[in-house]
Structure 1
Amino acid sequence: MLANYLIGLREGLEAALVVSILVAYLVKVGRRDRLPVVTGGVAVAVAVSIGFGALLTYTSTNLLSSFQSQEIFGGTMSAIAVAFVTWMIFWMRRAARGMRAELDGRLSSALRLGAFAVALTAFLAVAREGLETALFFWSAVQAAGDTVAPVVGFGLGIATATVLAWLLYRRSVTLNLARFFTWTGAGLIVIAAGVLGYAVHDLQEGGVIGGLRNLALDLGDNISLSSWYGALLKGIFNFTPQITVAQAIAWACYLGSVMTVFFLGGRVPPPHRKSRSDSQVGSGAA
């Protein structure tokens, strides 16, 4: 539940902030008459995202007859979800500062074109977040197994994000969004590492990747998933008592490399200050 709550909170707040920016711009320019159009575009984007998630579930349970094909489909979709969420984490960190100006510019152009353009702008802005969220949430639910806890956690996360975005819009609360997206991004990287490990295991069971019997870790006699700590490890890290060598390598390589780039790659080195001797050398060369 905790991992899916974080997914719902982070991804839901991203989408809610996009909507609040669009609404705030229309209010600022005195075009409240276009608010229903934006609502319609957002509603269609949400419906498409839910439909996409339902399509993934239907495909994996009804259209794929063999166990092997189901495992290959699940593993492939989970790997794609990890790639998308990783890209979105870095994109949001880079583009968050200029998001308002970008959306304001798009909506300003759309207002001149008409109602359909406004609705399309809202749809595209939210659909990008919604489709990626649906895919990642579906993968996380698949990894969690047959339980309603992920759905409950995700729903609570979405509800929290909606309330938080409304309070931010009303300026009832303040939130350091840069710090929020940094730490929730780090949390999503940990979750994505677990989903990637699950994807590798699925692909091993589907016969795409070998080494299903080569275990790096077997804690079946020591840790039970029915215990509170086992459930906690399962919920946050997608932990399983039996971990193959391929799973362990994928998990460690992804988590180590992506987390390092996430925290260190975005740092800008301080500008080089020329010393007095450097200035003199430069003047002489000139």
Structure 2
Amino acid sequence: MAQLDEADRLLSDSMLSSATLFGASLVILLREGLEALLVVIALVAVLARTGRQDGMRYVHIGWVSALVAGIATWAAAQSLISISGASREVMEGSAALLAAIVLLYVGIWMHSKTHAAQWQAYIQQHINAHLTAGTLWGLALLAFIAVYREVFETVLFYQTLLTQAGINQYPVIASGFGLAVSLLAILAWVLVRYSVKLPVARFFSITTYLLLALAFILMGKTVSALQEAALMSITPLPVSFEMAWVGVKSTWQGILAQLSVLLVFLAFIRTNRSRQKISAATTSESNLDRPGVTPADSD
């Protein structure tokens, strides 16, 4: 019994803390849900401005179908993925690795501060084509793709959170999910009722750093799980330490893996700033080339 208690303590120590799980659950759904919400509202707004009320029904069919498909995806993930027995560590490591990569690639690169604006511009461009051609079912497909993309990512991230949590921590994840749903419902009502302009760029900028922190933690958990499953070697550092709440352990493999997450993010930031400087310089030059535009005007 003493050994079983010790085994339970060790397994509990390898899980994410309740505060981390709650914060991750809240931020993930709030970010993904807000982007899907902005896309649907953009669709509805364009239809309202053009007086095509007949297309509203197809938009609602599209996003509702995406939610139903998301529930089916979640059910499939629960039935097809087993995280018990000897395969637990391998599943934890694989799920955490996939989620960390997606968080970096999708959550940071593709879902940058301008990504929501780019999606709305894409929708406004294609909605006119569907209305002109009379293919209203194309609107339903457009809404479905936009929303299901966010739902699929949400399912992936929540499945990963469950592999990093104990059964007694499931209510913590559910409470974060419930709070996010409530906040999204309030935001949707406010946006539709009062057409309030949200600081979307700032919101996405802040949540990008939060998702980076989650990717950093999950990368550390990935290495630890694969080492415990004997699929990755263990090379200890000269100094022994451990910070379980951020997934940091004193092995070269874990430290290098987590440093790679930071390096990729820093490279993205540097590249993005360089592009912004080039874009600003190009815009300034084009303004100066225009007749009647002075340097003070361009500033």
TM-score scaled by length of structure 2: 0.74
**Mapped partners of 2:254, 2:80: distance in 1:** 25
CA contact (8 A) 1:60 1:74 kept: no
Bigger helix fraction: 2
Give, in angstroms, the shift of residue 218 of structure 1.
4.5
> What is the CA distance between 1:166 and its match in structure 2?
3.5
Q: Select which of 251, 264, 267 maps to 2:258.
A: 251
Equivalent position SS for 2:233: coil
CA deviations 1:32-88 (Å, max 9, x no partner) are 222222112111211222222232222233xx77523x4323322322222222222
Matched, 1:90 2:97: no
SS of the residue aligned with 1:175? coil
1:124 correspondence with 2:130: no
Structure 2 distance, partners of 1:145, 1:183, is 28
Distance 1:167 1:217, change over 3 A: farther
Paired amino acid for 1:260: L
1:84-233 equivalences in 2 (<5 Å): 84-88=102-106, 89-93=108-112, 94-111=114-131, 112-146=133-167, 147=169, 148-171=171-194, 173-211=196-234, 214=236, 217-219=240-242
SS where residue 271 of structure 1 aligns? helix
| 1:244 shift after superposition | 4.5
User: For residues 143 and 162 of structure 2, what CA distance do their matches in structure 1 show?
Assistant: 28
Runs of at least 4 residues of structure 1 off by over 6 A? Answer: none
Greater Cα offset, 10-19 or 156-165: 156-165
Partner AA of 2:174 in structure 1: V
Instruction: Determine if the alignment matches structure 1 residue 261 to structure 2 residue 274.
Output: no
Q: Provide structure 2 residue ranges, at least 5 long, that are not aligned to the other structure.
A: 1-21, 286-299
Alignment CA distance shift 1:54-1:214 (3 Å): farther
Identity of aligned residues (%): 30
Query: Once superposed, what is the RMSD of the aligned Cα atoms?
Result: 2.8
Amino acid in the other structure paired with 2:77: L
1:252-272 CA-partner distances (Å, limit 9, x unpaired): 331x21442344332122639
Shift in alpha-carbon separation, 1:7–1:160, aligned structure 2, 3 A: same
